[in-house]
Amino acid sequence: MATQHVISAQGRKDEGKGASRRLRRAGFVPAVVYGAGQEPESIQIEHNTVLLASRHEWFFSSVLDLNVDGKTQKVLVRDWQKHPFKMLMLHMDFLRINENELVRVAVPIHFLNQEKSPAAKTAGLVISHNLTEVTVSCLPGNLPEYLELDLTSLTEGDIIHLSEIKLPANVEIPELALGKEHDVAVVTVASVREEVDETPAVEGDAAAPAAAPAPEKK
C-alpha cells in the first residue's frame, strides 16, 4: 500500500501579482487546485512545508492528500515555478484526481547494485543511465513512488530496455503500446578506448611545401 502524504494548506481570496508578492513576503507559496470537474481553487501553503516536501521524490510523483482548511482532496503536483537561483518556490499547481480513473505520472527509477556489477568493476567501461524516470499509467491507488532496476549482473555491451523494468501489479508503461521502436534503452554499457593520432608530427618549416621558382623576365 502506498504511503500517505499529507500537505496542509489554507484557502485564499486575494489574487493577482501584488497579492502573490505579499504572500511570498509572509512566507507562503501561492497555489491553485483544479480539475475533476470542479472550479479552480486558490490556496496558500507555508513555504517551509513546500520546501521540505520538495526534497523528496514522492512530492512530485505520488498522490498527495491536500488538506485545505480541514477538507482533504487527492491531488498530483502538475506544475511549479522556482526562483532561478534562490531556494524559493514561487507558485504551484495541483491537479485533483478521481480515484476510479487512470492517471499518467512520471515516476523515478532507482538503480540498484550497480557498484556490485562486473561492468562497474571493469576498467574502460562506462555505464549510462539514459532514463532516470518513466511515465506509468494506473489507478491512483496503485501508483508506485518509484520503480527499481537491479543492475547486479550488468556486463560489457549490455543494454536494458524499457520493457525489462519490473512493474507492480496493475501498472503499465503506455509508451510500450506504441510499438517496438518505443522500447528504448534505459541503461547501456559501452567501452571507451583512447584514439591514438597516428599522423607524424612535423617540425618547423619542413612541413611547408617548397616555393615555386619565380618566372624569368624576358
What's the pLDDT tens digit per position in 82-105?
988 888 899 999 999 999 999 999
**For the chain, which residues make up each domain, given as ranges?**
6-96, 103-191
pLDDT beyond 70 at 189 = yes
For residue 207, the model assigns a pLDDT of: 47
**What is the predicted pLDDT for the residue at 20?**
87
Sheet holding 159-161, edge to edge: 125-129, 185-191, 159-161
| Distance between CA atoms of residues 77 and 63, nearest Å | 8
In which band, very low, low, confident or very high, does the pLDDT at 211 lie, cut at 50, 70 and 90? Answer: low
Q: Which CATH superfamily is domain 103-191 in?
A: Ribosomal protein L25, C-terminal domain (2.170.120.20)
pTM metric for this prediction: 0.79
CATH value of 6-96 in 3.30.360.10, 3.40.50.150, 2.10.25.10, 2.40.240.10:
2.40.240.10
What is the average pLDDT value for the chain, to the nearest integer?
89
Q: Is it the case that residue 45 has pLDDT exceeding 90? A: yes
